[in-house]
Structure 1
């Protein structure tokens, strides 16, 4: 059975960063769905984004670098959220009427 392939609209000149962000978002989604790093493939990420698998290599040298970047960003987000929670006052502050 042939796979269906959703084609992504080409980026405009200078918008390569947008594609990199799409690749990272797709990898994060696939990792969250599977729960296992071993289940993530560059081909699956490319299919999710709608690009050819070799295009991923324009942004990441290999799967390990992609996974490391996703993991680092998730960690940075967690640290920021913990900092906001710590600096937010009492645990009931978000429940108080404004």
Structure 2
């Protein structure tokens, strides 16, 4: 029993760092199409490229909610991915 407890504790020490590392949300104003396609659920290469093209044509997104202006991105797709994306605000002096 003591040996089993030691093994369980050792396993926890190995796994805790793996599960405690939280990835920072992806900034939609600086992400590449490849990064967007990989990070966003329901977004493939064509939608990711549409996001980048919209950003290039219209400037940076002011908020995550502006993603619905991109053809193919609707409210439900946005809500499904809201936790993994962000819009970083530049520090103003």
Q: Which has the higher helix share?
A: 1
TM-score by length of structure 1 reads 0.33
TM-score by length of structure 2 reads 0.34
Higher relative contact order (CA 8 A, sep 6+): 2
Q: Which has the larger radius of gyration?
A: 2
